[in-house]
Structure 1
C-alpha cells in the first residue's frame, strides 16, 4: 500500500514538515512519496522552499493562485499512491509513528476509505481568537468517531479512487466551508469514514484582525453557496445558516439587524481584544450573513 503525501503550499516554510516526513518514511521503510504544489507563494517563500526540489517526488510551482479547493484536486494528476494524505503546510509532526498510525487504522478498520487525524494548537498561539475557536469548536477529544462533521482538511487520508469520485467543490475559490462541503459530499456518497487521534500541530499565528477579515470572506463563500439552491443540501446543517434561516422564516430579520447595528461596534472591539468571546463571534457571523441575504 503506497501513500502519496500531498502538501499544498502557500507562503510558509515547509522544510521541517518535509524532513520529518522523510525521516519517518526512511526509518520505517514506508512506501510513500511526497508531492508539493505551491499556490503562487511570494518569492521569499519560494526561495526558502527551493532546497526541497530534490527532496520530494514532485514540487510544482503554480504561476497563479487557484485557491484551496482546486489545488487539492490538482494532486490527482501527480500522485501514484493508493491513498492520498493531505496536510496543510502550516503544521508540524511530533510523532515518529504518524504515517504508521494511519496505516494501522486502514489495516485494522477494514474497508475504511477516509480517515481524519485531528490537530492540536501550537501553545505559542493558543490565546488568539482563531485558535480559541479551534480548541472549542473544531478539535475533538474522543478516541475514535465516524462523525463526518469532525473532518477538517488540515490532516486526512483518503483512498485515491474515492477522491477521484468525490473531490473538492472548485466553486469554492476563497477561504471558508470547503472542508464542510467536502465532508458532506463524502457522507452522501456513503464513504466509510473514521476520525482518530493522530494529530498534527497547527502553527497558526493569525491575528484577531486578520481572522475577522477571513471570517468575512468565509461568510461570503457561504452566501455564494446559498445562491445556488442545489447546494442547500450541503450547507443546511451549518450552524450560522440554520439560525439565519430560522430568523428569516420568523420574519425577524430586520429586528435582529436593527439590534445588531446597536452592538456591532462593541462586538468587534471584544473580538479584537486579548480576551475575545466566541459567542460574539457567532453574532458577528450571523450579522454578516443576514446582511447579505435579501
Structure 2
C-alpha cells in the first residue's frame, strides 16, 4: 500500500539521543513497510550526520540544513518531505513505546479531523550523562539509580557512579542499543505530566475547554497532512524557541480540527542540560502570536503569564465572553476593546522587564476619557444585569494592579 505514516523528527545537537529514539522506533508494532521516519537536522555540529550511515528496519530519510533555520522552518521541511497521509511530529529526543504509532494511526481511522496529543503520559528519562547537568538533575539521576537498582545491571551502576565521581568533562551514554530496545531506560525515568488538572476536569476529548490549542506541543502530536494543507504550515516569523506549535494549534482549532489527548501510551523525553529560560524571547514570540491573532482568547492568556488566573478560570471567562458575544455583542463592545488593550499591555510590560502596574494609563484607556467612560458604563450594566461576572473580575483585576 505504500507509506501511510510519516514520523518527522527535528534535531539540533541531540546525538546520541536522536539515535536512541530511532532504536526505539525499530520496536514499533505498526507495519514498518507503511511507516517512514524523517530526521531533519538543523545544522547540528555534533555527530548527528553519522546517523545517515546507519540502516533501520523502516524507510529512513536524513535531511540536513547546513545553516540553522529554526524550529518552524525545520518542521516545514520535514512536512514537505513526508509521503504519508498521517504525520507524527516529534522532537528527536523523544522515545516512544512500541504501540505508539499504531495507537495514533488507529485514532485517525475513525476521524480524519483529529489532532492527537500526548502530554498526560509524559516522562523524563536519563539516557545520557552530561557534565553540564545541574544539581537537581544529578540528584534525580542518582536517586533513580538507587531506588531502581535491581533494574540496572551492576556493571552499569558502577560505571556510571565512577564516571560521575571522576568529574568527567565529556558526556557518555547510559545505555546500549539493546538496552534501549529492551526499554531499560524506564528505570531512569520519572512521570512528568502536563495539564493533568485540565484533563481531569474536561476529559481526554477536552470537551468545553476553550484553549485546546495549548495542548498542541509538537514534541509529540499526530494529524493528517491535509489539515496542514488546509490551514497552512508553521509560521516562520518566530524567533528562537516557543509558541510556533501553539500558533499552528490555534489555526487548526479555529478551522474546526478536534484536538484530543491520547492517554494510552507513554513518551519519554531524554533529559539534557537545562538552559536558563529566556523570558524575553518567549514573550517576543507570544506577542508575535497575539499580533497574528489579535483575538480575545489569545490575549486572555496574559492572565496566566502574571499568574492571576488558572487555566480553568481563563477558559470559563472565554466561555462567558463567547456567550455574550453570540447573544448581545453590543453589551461589551468597549469592554472587549479595553480588555484586549490591557492584555497586550501586560505582555508588553513583561517583555520590557517592567513591573505590571498602572495599566489603565499604559493601555491608553486613561487618556481617552470617552472610551474609559463607555467601558465603565458597560461594566455597570453587566453588574446590574448579573452578567459577565468573570469579565468584570478580569477588568477590575487588571486596572487595579
**TM-score, normalised with respect to structure 2:** 0.52
Contact 1:12 1:89 in 2 (8 A): yes
Cα separation, partners in 2 of 1:222 and 1:33, compared to 1, 3 Å: same
Structure 1: gaps (5+ residues): 260-294
Cα separation, partners in 2 of 1:148 and 1:123, compared to 1, 3 Å: same
Structure 2: gaps (5+ residues): 127-132, 141-190, 207-211, 309-340, 358-401
Contact 1:92 1:203 in 2 (8 A): yes
Deviations 1:47-91 (A, max 9, x none): 4x3433777431111011111111111123211101111111111
| Residue aligned with 1:216, SS | helix
The equivalent position to 1:257 in structure 2, one of 341, 352, 355, is: 355
* Higher Cα radius of gyration: 2
> For 1:1-294, what aligned pairs fall within 5 Å after superposition?
2-13=4-15, 14-24=18-28, 28=31, 31-47=34-50, 49-52=51-54, 56-93=59-96, 95-107=97-109, 109-118=110-119, 119-122=121-124, 124=126, 135=192, 138=195, 142=200, 144-146=204-206, 147-166=212-231, 167-197=233-263, 198-207=265-274, 210-213=275-278, 215-226=279-290, 228=291, 230-233=292-295, 235-238=298-301, 239-240=304-305, 245=342, 248=345, 257=355
Deviations 1:226-265 (A, max 9, x none): 5x3x43237313222897935958xx999x7299xxxxxx
Distance across 2 between alignment mates of 1:258 and 1:7: 39
How far off is 1:175 after superposition?
Answer: 0.8
How far off is 1:111 after superposition?
Answer: 3.5
| Residue aligned with 1:205, SS | coil
Query: How big is the alpha-carbon RMSD for the aligned residues of Structure 1 and Structure 2?
Result: 3.5
Aligned residues: 243
| Residue aligned with 2:276, SS | helix
